[in-house]
Every structure is written in C-alpha cells, then in structure tokens.
Amino acid sequence: MPAGDRDYETQVREAFPELAEIGDSDLRERVVEAWTLGLERGGWRDVEDVPYAWNIHEVSNVEHVRGTTTVALRSAEVQREVHGADPDVDVLVAACLLHDVGKCYEYVDHVDAGLVDPDPTYCGEEIPHSISGYALAHEVGCPLAVQRAIPHFLGEVPERTLEAELVKSANSASSNAITQATMGITLQEWVEEYSQTTG
C-alpha cells in the first residue's frame, strides 16, 4: 500500500485513461496488475512520481507512456487507412502502456522523495526497464503477443511484430520530443552523452 491517499490500482486507472481502448477486460486488468506490482515493489508513493528518465524529472513516466500510446494509436490508424494493415489495437495499447512499467524498478536509485522501502529483489539498474517490463507482463499473464511487443531497443528480440514496431517507433517519437523540449538535444544525443538507455 502506498503512502499516498489513493491505492495503486486507483492511481493506475486514473493515470492511464487509455486503458479504455483495450476491449478485452481481462487484458485491461492484467495491465493494471502489472503496474500495481511494479509500483508496490518499487516502493513508489504515486505513479506520477516515476520520472521519464533518471536525469529528466520535468516529465513523468506517465506523460511519456500516454504520449507513446497516443502516437502508436494514430500511427495504427494511418497504417490501416493508407496501407490496409490491421494492427491489433488491444495488443498495441497494452504493450504501449506496459513498455516502461519496468522504470518502477530501474529508477529507484535516482529518486528519494517519492519512495517508501523499495524491494531490493526487483529494484536496481542491472536489468533494463524494457526487459523487466516484459517480465512483469509475463508474470501477470499478458498474452505472448503483448509480451513480445514490450522490449523496444534494437537487438532485444529477434523478430518484431507490426505492434512491436509501432510501440518502438511511437516510443522514439515521444522520447525525442521530451529530450528536445527538456534538454535541447535528440534522444540519440542524450544516449551518447549519458551512456544510458531510455524509452
């Protein structure tokens, strides 16, 4: 239970109205469960306290995840209308909403005020957030199609689905906008300068 006024499940539902885009109610609940576990194990007081990046605290992870989801949904519309492709919206939205849930584990060393007793079993920088996010999705029983669309760095998965490509490109678009707006540099420049990965 967080130190804040609202329980984690309520926080997640309020933070991500895009959950309503997931038609499958079971999948929707699994996404909420993954976030709830991540927040609980990370010791976060509030989902809004998780930063976008270890050194960018002006933008929350929630803002970035929502931006990524919006970009991916709009890209899916274009793919459908212009190219006749048929991305699975449930898979796409679930994967977008979960693509950075692993930051609940990865960023605990960079935030003090928003934390209450992080679980050292899960938390730390040893495992990139896209992989711990994959693990969380697997743990709560998300379909394999969702799990496979979560790792979003090159080389993390050998085969990329249409939904995975949409998550990856939408994540890059959102990330580039954030690094440009907050630091005046591209995402690639940020990665090169700080030798960290983000998404």
Residue 73 lies in a domain: yes
User: pLDDT at position 158, please?
Assistant: 56
CA pair distance 180, 159, nearest whole angstrom: 30
Rg (CA), the chain: 16
pTM for this model (two decimals): 0.91
The pLDDT of residue 157: 61
Split the chain (199 residues) into runs of 10 and give each run's mean pLDDT.
71 98 98 97 93 90 97 97 97 97 89 77 87 95 95 67 93 92 88 65
The boundaries of the domain holding residue 117 are: 8-194
Q: For residues 116 and 163, is the Cβ–Cβ distance under 8 A?
A: no
- Residue 25 in domain: yes
- What's the domain count of the chain? 1
DSSP labels, 142-161: --HHHHHHS--STTS-SS--
User: What pLDDT, on the 0 to 100 scale, is given for residue 2?
Assistant: 47
CATH number at residue 100: 1.10.3210
Residue 91 lies in a domain: yes
User: Tell me, what's the pLDDT at 198?
Assistant: 45
- Give, in order, the Cα–Cα distances in Å from 173 to each of 29, 141, 159, 177: 27, 29, 21, 6
Which residues fall within 8 angstroms of residue 39, CB to CB, at 6 or more apart? 2, 8, 11, 12, 47, 50, 104
Contact, 102 vs 27, CB < 8 A?
Answer: no
What is the reported pLDDT for 197?
47
Spatial distance between the Cα atoms of 27 and 36, rounded to a whole number of angstroms: 14
Amino acid 111: pLDDT: 73
